[in-house]
Structures are given as C-alpha cells and as structure tokens.
Amino acid sequence: MELVLAVSIGVMASCGVYLMLRPRTFQVIIGLSLLSYAVNLFIFAMGRLRVGAAPVLSKDGVVDPSLYTDPVPQALVLTAIVIGFAMTALFLVVLLAARGLTGTDHVDGRERR
C-alpha cells in the first residue's frame, strides 16, 4: 500500500512539474493543480496509513497510538483541497480574462513563429 501511494505521489508531482514548464497558461494551471494534489496526498500519508482502523480514540483507559490514524493531517488536507479548488477557479477566471485581452494563452504573451 505504501509503495503504491509513494509511486502515485511521485508520478503526480513529476507530471505537475512537467506541465508547469509548458508554454500555455492552461497547462500551467493544470500542473499547479496536480502538484497541489501530490502534496495533499503526501500530507495525508504522513498521518499513518491504516486500513480498517478506527479514526478516533476509544473510551478505554489504555491507548495504543499505533492502532489509530492521526486526524490532524486529514483536516489539513481537507482545508487544502477547498483552498486549492478556489485558487484554481480564480486562476481560470484570470486565464479567460487574459486570453480575451491579449488574444493568446502563452505564458509570455507571444506566439512563437
């Protein structure tokens, strides 16, 4: 499970960096989104991967922390997803406005000849 998650984080991060280096604005926005999703998965994995474990502590007196997942990274990722969605919507609106004003969607504002 950990190997699959690590490989998927690496693939998403590398695809995000590749798309961020592209000359089109839409590709840069998609690259930023992929990179933020990779970081969210990384933060989520930092809270320990447990399948079928209870998300909260029980009322018993003795608590073994290795049996539970950490809820703080989950809350951070949930907040980051909401903020990332809002920023992506803002970037798309700015992209459409810039495309309407300049007539191109290149990052530097000029088409190659």
Class of domain 2-49+69-102: mainly alpha
pLDDT score of 8 more than 90: yes
pLDDT of residue 18: 97
Inform me whether the pLDDT recorded for 30 exceeds 80: yes
pLDDT at 58: 66
Mean pLDDT to the nearest integer, 61-87: 82
Confidence of residue 64 (pLDDT cuts 50, 70, 90): confident
* Residue 23: CB atoms within 10 Å: 13
Average pLDDT, rounded, for the chain: 85
pTM of whole model > 0.85? no
- 69 to 4, 25, 48, 104: CA distances (angstroms): 19, 39, 6, 48
Domain assignments of the chain as residue spans, ordered by start = 2-49+69-102
